[in-house]
Amino acid sequence: MENISIPTIIHLPKFLDQRGNLSFIEEYKHIPFKIKRTYWIYDVPGGESRGGHAYRNTDEFIVALSGAFEVILDDGEKKESFLLNRSYYGLYVPKGYWREMVNFSTNSVGLILAPTLYEPDDYIRDYDEFLKLKKKP
Ligand code: TYD
């Protein structure tokens, strides 16, 4: 899979079965990176928001494994909202986007795959700093 530089909804394989459906993700094949870390967000009170920050060097792939939430991505000039509400597709978020996850439905679960280990210095948590970095030529 070639590199993707803009936020993209990626549809995953899905095997529909009366015993229950199945989907999967393979690194480099369905997402454009090698998976080094995975984390999930759960027990979020309905309507809650998370993740007002950007990463300097980390891309992510976000799937709503259960329930629904919206991911709002901001490139410093415009905002775009993506509704995630099925477990057979996800959102690829390239580095350098301010991202918020909002409107979690009760009992939703968000799975996030990343190509890096957790690194606090990779976070930009100040929106004004983010805008300044984006304005650099
Ligand atoms: P944080 O990224 O601040 O959550 P949000 O997406 O809502 O901004 O993460 C919350 C806490 O979890 C923070 O103290 C750091 C810790 N954490 C890890 O230790 N490893 C990880 O991979 C992640 C994503 C978070």
Instruction: Give the position, in ligand 1's atom list, of the atom nearest the Cα of 123.
Output: 2
Residue 2 reports pLDDT greater than 80: no
Predicted pLDDT at 51: 86
- Predicted TM-score of the model (pTM): 0.95
Contacts of residue 114, defined as CB under 8 A and 6 or more positions apart, other chains included, come to 35, 36, 37, 38, 39, 58, 59, 60, 61
Predicted pLDDT at 135: 87
Instruction: Give the position, in ligand 1's atom list, of the atom nearest the Cα of 120.
Output: 15
- Read off the pLDDT of each residue in 27-41 and give the average, rounded to a whole number: 97
* CB of 7 closer than 6 angstroms to any ligand 1 atom: no
